[in-house]
């Protein structure tokens, strides 16, 4: 199956939809072609995340007040979501602090979207939406806007003046002509590094898996898929942890 041909390509009306998108947007970010499959794969991942949220909410509200709060002993969607949520919240409290609960809903949603977008590439016949720059840079630009928004919310104009005077002392303003351009470039590089790191790693992982599947489609890809699973988890962790760090740097009191 071609790289741009997946099971989503056989959906009714796919060809007409792809032609329409190409007619209004022939190229995406950095000149990369707009592959409708990645758009549909991202939509599929978003629907799956919504399904997880619905199943978890239904389990929590089932059977009255207390019965729904006690998880069952079996492996279920709710238990898996709760384990992921607890791990993420613990990590957020270690990096951001007690106020981590304020940012948890957004970061947990972002974590689930990136994780399942990566894992979609391990399903035969699918391509992960995160091996396309348009998807990874959309996530990184969202992170950039998000942590700057909270930086402005907490520190007001101090979030901007901090770039010119990071030390916060009166003599620091003499270094402003040098520090402001450096700090601005450092700030602008953050979404670029996030998008490139995630996209490049997922693109390479999917290419390696595709090569081994083409050589021997039955037994050889199994250890490669195990390695790919590790790459998916690690890249999600790196993206989210860096997001936490950027958020912490923006809202901390010593900003």
- Packing angle of the helix pair 133-155, 221-251 (nearest 10 deg): 20
Share of the chain above pLDDT 70, in %: 82
Query: How is residue 27 annotated by DSSP?
Result: B
The pLDDT score that the predictor gives to residue 18 is 78
Label residue 243 exposed, middle or buried (CB < 10 Å: 0-12, 13-18, 19+).
Answer: buried
The pLDDT score that the predictor gives to residue 47 is: 94
- For residue 118, CA distances in Å to 154, 198, 219, 230, 232 come to 33, 9, 22, 10, 5
Greatest Cα pair distance in the chain: 67
**pLDDT attached to residue 246:** 94
pLDDT tens, 168-210? 676 767 777 888 888 889 899 999 999 999 998 888 877 777 6
pLDDT, position 195? 93
How does residue 13 score in pLDDT terms, banded at 50, 70 and 90?
confident
220: helix, strand or coil: coil
Question: What pLDDT score does 48 carry?
Answer: 93
Q: Predicted confidence band at 20 (pLDDT cuts at 50, 70, 90)?
A: confident
Which pLDDT score, from 0 to 100, does residue 2 have? 47
> Which residue from 130, 105, 120 is spatially nearest to 53, judged by alpha carbons?
105
241 vs 76: which has the higher pLDDT: 241
CA 255 to chain centre: 25
Other beta carbons within 10 angstroms of residue 244's beta carbon come to 20
> pLDDT at residue 93 above 90?
yes
* CB count in 10 Å sphere of residue 179: 18
Residue 145 scores a pLDDT above 90: yes
Q: For the CA atoms of the chain, what is the radius of gyration?
A: 21
| Confidence tier at 146 by pLDDT (50, 70, 90) | very high
Backbone angles phi, psi at 37, to 5 degrees: -60, -40
Residue with tokens 């998108």: 21
Please list the residues that pair with 33 across neighbouring strands.
27
């Amino acid at each position: 199956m071609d790289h741009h041909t997946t099971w989503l390509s056989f959906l009714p009306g796919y060809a007409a939809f792809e032609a329409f998108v190409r007619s209004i947007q022939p190229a995406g970010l950095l000149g990369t072609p707009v592959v409708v499959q990645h758009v549909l794969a991202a939509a599929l991942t978003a629907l799956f995340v919504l399904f997880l949220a619905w199943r978890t909410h239904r389990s929590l509200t089932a059977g009255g007040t207390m019965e729904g709060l006690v998880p069952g002993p079996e492996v279920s969607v709710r238990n898996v979501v709760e384990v992921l949520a607890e791990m993420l919240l613990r990590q957020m409290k270690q990096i951001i602090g007690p106020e981590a609960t304020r940012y948890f809903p957004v970061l947990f949603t972002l974590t689930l979207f990136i994780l399942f977008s990566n894992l979609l590439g391990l399903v035969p016949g699918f391509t992960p939406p995160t091996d396309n720059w348009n998807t990874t840079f959309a996530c990184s630009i969202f992170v950039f806007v998000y942590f700057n928004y909270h930086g402005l919310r907490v520190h007001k104009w101090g979030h901007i003046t901090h770039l010119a005077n990071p030390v916060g002392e009166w003599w620091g303003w003499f270094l402003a002509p040098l520090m402001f351009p450096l700090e601005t470039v450092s700030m602008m590089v953050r979404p670029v590094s996030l998008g490139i790191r995630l996209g490049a790693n997922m693109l390479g992982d999917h290419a390696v898996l595709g090569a081994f599947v083409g050589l021997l489609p039955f037994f050889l890809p199994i250890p490669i898929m195990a390695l790919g699973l590790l790459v998916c988890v690690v890249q999600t962790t790196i993206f989210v942890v860096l997001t936490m760090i950027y958020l912490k740097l923006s809202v901390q009191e010593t900003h």
